[in-house]
Structures are given as C-alpha cells and as structure tokens.
Amino acid sequence: MKRLVLALGVLMTAACATTGVEEPAFDLVLSDGDFEVRDYAPTILAETTVEGDAVGSRFAGFGPLADYIFAKDRKGEEIAMTAPVTQAPREKIEMTAPVTQKTEAGKWTVGFTMPAGYTMETLPKPGNPAVKLLEQPGRKMAVLSFSGTAGNSRMEAVRKELLAKVAAAGLVTKGEPVFAFYDPPWTLPFLRRNEVMIEIAER
C-alpha cells in the first residue's frame, strides 16, 4: 500500500508539467496541428521493465523509479522530478538473418528523464538492479499530441494515427512508439496532455 501511494504521488507530481517541472530539450522541426517533428537533445533515462497491460504496468513501474528518485533504495541526495513519464513496449532483437525486432508481449519499459545537469558519472547509482540508467543520444522524433484517458484502446488508436501521419509526411521510422504522460490523474480528461512519439530515421 505504501508503495502504491508513493507511485501515485510520483505520477501526480512528476508528470505535472504545468508547475515548472523540467522537460527534455528539443528544437521544433515541423508543426502541423497536433503533429510535430522534433530534434531532441541527448538525455539520460532511469528505466525499469515490468509486466502487465499498458495501464497496470505504468503504475507498477513507478514504485522502483520512485525509490530511486527519492533515494529510498540507495544513499545520497534526492533527484529532482521531471516530465513526462514515458512508457514503451519492451523490445528484443533476434540475432537472425535478416535481423528482426519484435515486442515481448506483456512487457513495458517505464522511464523518467534525468535532469539535464547530471551525467552518467554524477548520477547516483540505483540500489535496485531492476532500475537501469541509460544514455539516450539525440534523435529526431515524430510526435502526436492527444488528450483524454490513455487506456489500451486509446493508446492503440493514437499509435496507428501517428504512423499514418508519419507515412503521409514521407518519413521513415525506426523502433517502437513511446508514450509520454504529462499530467496528474485528477486532471480532467479533456485537459490532459499526452503524446505518442516514434524515432525518425535520418536519410
């Protein structure tokens, strides 16, 4: 129960971009209504992989990440919270000919972006082996913004809409879509800021 309360607190606070919480830096390349292409700067992510459906795994991932952010599983200082909370299907690479990539059913990676002032050397090491720090290089992302609740069916619908817009723009994708959630759960659904994004291959 204590972990659930803490997880909800992280969602309600870390995901709230309207209170001056830091967000990843990017340059806007293209804007067409709710569809954008952005050049993101390099970042560092704290991630954990959990099993479950899309909504349940989102909450399940908050506990280990909250323990890391709030120094519950390690020594040292707390880390400032950022937005958004990200969620992506877990991928694995099969070493075959040709090389293929597929999603492991029922597994999701939930992540927090670390504040820009940190490096891999200055970030505290996670005490929980389930939490990993990952350097994310700069990359170009196609992004579709959407409001409302983000259950399984809604996430699938906006995923398909994003891929359709990417195809219409003549862009080539790489990897799987990533979902981003900015607002606390008490926010009215029509006011919520959510995004689905996918990396664009450089030509």
pLDDT tens for residues 84-124?
999 998 765 454 445 443 456 678 999 999 999 999 999 99
According to DSSP, the residues that pair with 136 across neighbouring strands are 43
According to DSSP, the residues that pair with 38 across neighbouring strands are 28, 141
Band of residue 40 on the pLDDT scale cut at 50, 70, 90? very high
List Cβ neighbours of 187 (8 Å cut-off, separation of 6 or more).
none
Contact 201, 172 (CB under 8 A): yes
Lowest pLDDT segment from 12-21, 75-84, 125-134, 190-199: 12-21
Q: Domains of the chain (ranges plus CATH)?
A: 2-200 (3.20.80.10)
List Cβ neighbours of 76 (8 Å cut-off, separation of 6 or more).
124
pTM (two decimals): 0.81
139-146 vs 194-200, strand pairing mode: antiparallel
| Mean pLDDT, rounded, for 137-150 | 95
Please calculate the CA angle 185-116-75 and round it to the nearest 5 degrees. Answer: 80
- Which carries the bigger pLDDT value, residue 134 or residue 6? 134
